[in-house]
């Protein structure tokens, strides 16, 4: 992606505007779905951590995290590669570990 503006041809600009708008709307709708799913995940993770705390279990399970990453990487049908999935989900999973655990007494 070069970031260069379109040629000054008005027809070309109109065609671009007409083509990009529905794509941007689709991305916005997907972003809203992602946000909803991330909020749902945060609620479940908080419940998991609360259960772990009640039972004296460590909140971080490296093998579980590895299994999640392996499962997601294998499930991706593209265009994201397994490495892409790992790059996206590793910091996300770490964020949930750090942020959505119950307060320590």
Sequence ranges of the domains in the chain: 58-100
Residue 73 pLDDT more than 80?
A: yes
Residue 88 pLDDT more than 90?
A: yes
For the segment 79-99, the average pLDDT, to the nearest whole number, is: 95
Residue 8 pLDDT more than 90?
A: no
Angle, to 10 degrees, between the axis of helix 82-99 and the axis of helix 62-75? 140
Compute the distance between CA of residue 33 and CA of residue 36 in angstroms, rounded to an integer. 5
For the segment 59-75, the average pLDDT, to the nearest whole number, is: 95
> Cβ(90)–Cβ(69) under 8 Å?
yes
pTM of structure: 0.79
Note every long-range contact of 34-40, with CB atoms under 8 Å and residues 24 or more positions apart, other chains counting: none
Q: Which of 80, 58, 53, 59 is nearest to 69 (CA)?
A: 80
> Would you tell me how many other CB atoms lie within 10 Å of the CB of residue 101?
17
Residue 5 pLDDT more than 90?
A: no
The pLDDT confidence band at residue 34, using thresholds 50, 70 and 90, is very high
> Cβ(12)–Cβ(6) under 8 Å?
yes
């Amino acid at each position: 992606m070069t970031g260069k503006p379109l040629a000054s041809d008005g027809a070309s600009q109109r065609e671009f505007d007409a083509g990009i708008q529905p794509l941007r709307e689709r991305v916005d709708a997907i972003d809203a779905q992602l946000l909803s799913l991330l909020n749902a995940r945060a609620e479940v993770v908080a419940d998991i951590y609360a259960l772990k705390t009640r039972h004296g279990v460590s909140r971080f399970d490296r093998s579980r995290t590895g299994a999640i990453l392996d499962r997601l990487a294998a499930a991706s049908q593209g265009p994201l590669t397994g490495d892409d999935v790992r790059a996206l989900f590793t910091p996300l999973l770490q964020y949930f570990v750090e942020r959505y655990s119950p307060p320590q007494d």
